[in-house]
Amino acid sequence: MFKTILFFIVVIAFYAISIWQYINPTKAIRLWFQPAYTEEPKVDEAYVRRSLIIRGIFFTLGFIVIIYSYFH
């Protein structure tokens, strides 16, 4: 039971960290993505939204597979 609770806490922490970094990136992440040119790059917001959804789906599927293999 303790392992299961600890596992859920770790998974929720990973979700929270990834969401927090998306909402409020650290200075290192901002510098990493800062362009080396003066023009403002065009960002396809639909593509960014779609990639976040796909990443969330794969993370959730991986979580389900780990839970299933843990209990069987």
**pLDDT (tens digit, 9 = 90+) per residue, 51-64?**
888 888 888 888 88
Token reading at 4: 């299961």
Residues of the chain with pLDDT under 50: none
Taking the complete model, does pTM exceed 0.95, yes or no?
A: no
Token reading at 62: 């991986």
Q: How many domains does the chain have?
A: 1
Please tell me the number of Cα atoms within 13 Å of 16 on its side-chain side: 6
% residues pLDDT > 70 (the chain): 74
Looking at the domain assignment, is residue 37 inside a domain? no
Looking at the domain assignment, is residue 62 inside a domain? yes
Strand ranges (E), 1-72: none
Looking at the domain assignment, is residue 27 inside a domain? no
Question: Which range of residues forms the domain containing residue 66?
Answer: 44-72
